Structure 1
């Protein structure tokens, strides 16, 4: 790998990649894009899957929930496994699991096999995502090079969420929902052929013991968190089932923290969590994902149930938001390079809030569609600046041997944020439904804007970055080799 001497040329020199780095980037970004597609590709197909395989309507949500539970629950564990046993090895193993699970899902003739396949896809996601991200953060040195790479990754993942919804509908209507699984098989095969030749990523020179009690506790706790949030979204936040599970999750996390402070080789080193850029960066990422994914849910209701748009037209309108997120991801590296990751996150949250707040006054007239498209485009772009900023911040200053853990926290905040946002603002919406759908939507979108402003204040006050702002060029620092 190159030594990236362009880091010493000052801010005018654009980051350059060697041919080997471009190939590694292509493999890793393709894998992450595919996993982002998987989060949304089956949503449109759920009714058809239910008809074909005999799912009861009440049980269709488990096609999505089983995937989310495993993807979030195993993230920290596999992030640490990547550090201990090798990022490249875990990445390729996860891709193989994804391919096998996708074959099973595509061939499923009943609910049981499909759910097993979705569980395996969730486990594969928990394996691949932190491994791929830690490969990116160790292959490319901290600074403008890494910021640009994380910007590309954020843009492609944002595009993946949008592409998944569109592709799922097209495949279901034109061919079969089974091709939503088979697409993964083709991608997995290509990555498994190319990956061993273009990826590097060793493991720790001394293999420490893997903290089995810590792994079991944190996995159970995270599964309980995601399940509790999902149950709250279905039954309401006052439902005892949701609160009981969330309280159990909190108790498990307390026990986990006590265990991690006592074992000699913890799964999650408390010293890493005490880094304010890691802990508060992950919180900021959670809020960024929660606010934007919840807004997409609210806008879907507004476009179809208030303005009367059909599903296809509503999807095209939301694609404008998706386009904004892609552009925001591509522009994030320049923004962060100019003002630093912390300031970029504060500015991004403020702009996102400013773009969301007018939607709290949306009316029933179809004339609202133009300002809605403009506002969601701007808000989506700002949101991706925050997301790239938190990925840069959370991994900054962390030793290479702990990058799997740091990127596991990045991935965890993403998945919990996606899971948390919609049920939280659904509860706000439900509180005003007695006055009608539009007043409820207005209140929920106003709350979304307030959360963005609160997140901006939180980042400004609580977040502390390493001595040199992540993403800012270091004109005098010697370049660090990216080879591993």
Structure 2
């Protein structure tokens, strides 16, 4: 990897002066796909391992959500900055940096002797993933210059992003059950290093022209604000909502997030151009994605504990129990792609959200000895089918009327809002869960009461999850006005991460 970039790479992204396609472009795609798979896997592989990690490192109920939120907050909060870094530093250089950094962070997490280092390593993973994911997407864009080949390459990228979560659940179950929960992190080390070595001679460098400008104040304030908000929810789970620390953190988060908006409004090179988010359709899409993430991500956390601690499933069986969810999303997303030009985004995304909210609400019926087939499977299928119907039109609406220079930011915001919403929702609903468990045990005693208190916590969290997803559907019906023609003519740009 050279320190200077051949100027041809700006005008001729594949690095071939006469405009002919890069002869090693498909090999490069395979290498990039492995990196993308690793990033997607890491979001789901750890979910199955959380109960074992919590027991091993003596993590409290209030703090266990940091295994999820530390990663998603750093990933979502820094994703837009990561895209800028990839453009100006050089996409290959950022890709290699992301791989090596992800390997180091994974190694730290895998050997972490305590919860603090584990959470820090997860945050570091998320930060490097925020550089790696947009670099991978940009490399595909500049490597495949012919439209049909680029579409095929994006198809591979999308399949990896969609199917990676399902693979992660199974791999996480296998590693946790037959090795150790630590291998859910350590497995990234050889994958990242081998991918980096393979990429060095194959992937070509490219970078954006012009002066590099990074909105560091914006990145710092929004990330700090989100971390303060999540930490406030965590303190509330232990000390209550009226505790001075809780109130101080929540007020501080609001101040920091307002400051972020002020910085973006005044910056000459904002991390988030406000014009992208303030248009009615796009803003509705981003808000709906935020609310959907808030309701959906926590479901994986609570169902994982329900499977393993209440129903007595092994880690591997828990992974397989989530497979119908992944299958439902894949099927319904394909159906949504066919229906979108016919029925438009508003009806499709709104109906999908209501269907998913119904599925989440049905989880309230679970008990200490519920049947998976009778009580959990129908809910999984309803939620996944609804989410697939919703995600496709929301991604399309995010690009309605956006200028070419803002297309990358608008597309990345779909993923950013999902990740940030997931982090906030997981932290908040984990607090709701802890409060419900404590409240139940005040009036009920005995061994069965302890087990039933967990059910009380899960079902209370599922109710609020259903409310968040239902609100996302309402947002779509109220704000999204884009018609069938508008979205059918929009060339969707894949989000920066799966």
Cα shift at 1:459: 0.8
Cα shift at 1:215: 3.2
Please state if 1:448 is matched with 2:452: no
Match of 1:310 in 2: 313
Match of 1:31 in 2: 35
Match of 1:460 in 2: 477
2:84 is aligned, of 77, 80, 85, to 80
Match of 2:262 in 1: 258
Please state if 1:167 is matched with 2:171: yes
Cα shift at 1:125: 1.5
CA–CA distance in structure 1, aligned partners of residues 350 and 151 of structure 2? 17
Match of 2:274 in 1: 270
Match of 2:228 in 1: 224
Cα deviation, 1:339-393, whole Å, max 9, x if unaligned, reads: 3444432232122133334334456664573253133123213213323333333
Per the alignment, do residues 274 and 97 of structure 1 end up closer, same or farther by CA in structure 2, a change over 3 Å counting?
same
Secondary structure at 1:379 match in 2: helix
CA–CA distance in structure 1, aligned partners of residues 270 and 458 of structure 2? 45
CA contact (8 A) 1:105 1:118 kept: yes
CA–CA distance in structure 1, aligned partners of residues 50 and 365 of structure 2? 33
Match of 2:353 in 1: 349
Gaps in structure 1 of 5+ consecutive residues = 1-17
CA contact (8 A) 2:47 2:304 kept: no
CA contact (8 A) 2:68 2:423 kept: no
CA–CA distance in structure 2, aligned partners of residues 453 and 66 of structure 1? 26
Query: Could you tell me the TM-score, scaled by structure 1's length?
Result: 0.76
Please state if 1:186 is matched with 2:190: yes
Cα shift at 1:287: 1.9
Cα deviation, 1:154-201, whole Å, max 9, x if unaligned, reads: 664454344434323422332344433342233323433454677678
Gaps in structure 2 of 5+ consecutive residues = 1-21, 444-451, 494-498
CA–CA distance in structure 2, aligned partners of residues 215 and 201 of structure 1? 26
CA–CA distance in structure 2, aligned partners of residues 415 and 86 of structure 1? 25
CA–CA distance in structure 2, aligned partners of residues 47 and 373 of structure 1? 22
Q: How many residues align?
A: 455
CA contact (8 A) 2:345 2:484 kept: no
Greater relative contact order (Cα 8 A, min sep 6): structure 1 or 2?
A: 1
CA contact (8 A) 1:75 1:412 kept: yes
Per the alignment, do residues 324 and 127 of structure 1 end up closer, same or farther by CA in structure 2, a change over 3 Å counting?
same
Cα shift at 1:124: 0.7
CA contact (8 A) 1:236 1:427 kept: no
Query: Cα RMSD between the aligned structures?
Result: 4.2
CA–CA distance in structure 2, aligned partners of residues 181 and 189 of structure 1? 14
1:319 is aligned, of 306, 309, 323, to 323
Cα deviation, 1:55-86, whole Å, max 9, x if unaligned, reads: 45347765555434433432232233344444
